[in-house]
Amino acid sequence: MQKIDRLWVELSKESTQSNFSYSEGQTRKNLPDSVFPLLLISGIGRVAGVRCLRIQAAHFSTVRTNNTLLSLSLTNSAMGAEGRIWDPVSAMEEAPGVPSVPSSPVSIDISLPLHQMKPHILHLLKELFPKWSSLDSSCFTIEKVSGGITNLLLKVCVQEDSLNESVITVRLYGPNTDLVIDRKRELQALPHLSAAGFGAKLLGVFSNGMVQSFIDARTLEPSDMRNPKIASEIAKELRRFHQVDIPTSKEPQLWNDIFRFLKEAEKLKFDDDDEKQSIYEKISFIEIHKQVNELKDLTSLLNSPTVFAHNDLLSGNVMLNDSQGKLYFIDFEYGSYSYRGHDIGNHFNEYAGFDCDYNLYPNKEAQYHFFRNYLKPDNPQVVPESELEALYVETNTFRLTSHIYWALWALIQAKVSTIEFDYLGYFFLRYNEYKKQKESCFSLAKSFLAVSDSA
């Protein structure tokens, strides 16, 4: 059995640097009291198929507390002298300060037809941005950009004078979306993502939505994501996204969210719709609990890195300016610290498109192309086969968590959403796909883990 030599914790503050070591089985005497509580030694795990001491900390690669940065790395005697099990991930510079944006208590009824909604939108914009307060309503042009199954997005053109026109977007949250979306978490992350160059700039907030800058680009079609050139750019951008440091708890939220959804889903009642209630009663929540716990146990063995994840990287949340070749990620309402494998696996599931044709899920060759550009964006051809295989196993096990997540999400939406969409049907579609893929994905992970154990 391979043995862990030591865990190094490098503490750096301003120009002062000190090193502390912690050997397996050693007392905490070499670690200062301010450092030790940040680390929880929780057993032997694996990273890229190599045995290592599993660490749970406030961040996978770094821990930030006040102005102190802890950089973590592991060494293992079986890897040679001072060989790193993983390279530290460089976090983006934090936003210099969360900029304050204008806010309003106004709430706009998302169910109104656009022509009836327009006066309310104008009132809101004039309140948020006083420079527009004297403009006539004819100076504002409002059009619907998209009406998804969660939100409504409007494009607003404002003719400020004969020479200047401003273009913004107004996003209206769907009713009761707070049951599945943590708006506080979203608003906390947005300024830091914007500072790192992601998404539209936040300009203002109101009771049930936000105002953002307009991105001059088209949203991708599902087929675009299968284009090798676009796939490689998405992979590179996703790696950069995963490096952003959001000043919040770095604890992965995936299982917290799934169990929260499950708790809400199993107590639903469709008293006003006998047909929905009849369909709902056919669902076995005892079975779902069993499936969720089995999947949680298996994925925990893979030690997928914790990153700030998008968690909803479908084609509609990726934009492309064709003339500039510039790619944009948008809509971070499901963003949280989570597992790398879940974010990539969820993205691959979205290759299925609007018709949910999971035969379009990328094959191994296409996945390896994506992985190479994600792992080594500057030199994708030098990624070792072992790293590709490890990420392949990680991603294709976590593809199952994506199906469970959105299946349970759909059940809640079936009860609370006013948008015309067959959410119950979507639950069965995603849950049945989970059951269809479970055997092969579990087998893949268990075979990989067995080989790692025998190595």
Domain region containing 39: 4-79
Q: Is the domain of 250 the same as that of 396?
A: yes
Indicate the number of domains in the chain. Answer: 3
* Nearest one of 132, 135, 152 to 143, comparing CA atoms: 152
- Per the domain annotation, does 91 fall within a domain? no
Task: Write down the pTM of the prediction.
Answer: 0.78
pLDDT in tens, the chain (455 residues): 333 333 333 333 333 333 334 343 433 334 333 333 333 322 323 333 333 333 333 333 333 333 333 333 333 322 233 332 334 343 344 444 455 789 999 999 988 999 999 999 999 999 999 999 999 999 999 999 875 667 899 999 999 988 899 999 999 998 888 889 999 999 999 989 988 999 999 999 999 999 999 999 999 999 999 999 999 999 999 999 999 999 999 999 999 999 999 999 999 999 999 999 999 999 999 999 999 999 999 999 999 999 999 999 999 999 999 999 999 999 999 999 999 999 999 999 999 999 999 999 999 999 999 999 999 999 999 999 999 999 999 999 999 999 999 999 999 999 998 888 999 999 999 999 999 999 999 999 999 999 988 76
Q: Is the domain of 132 the same as that of 38?
A: no
The CATH number for 123's domain is 3.30.200.20
Last residue of a domain, one of 79, 113, 138: 79
The CATH number for 306's domain is 3.90.1200.10
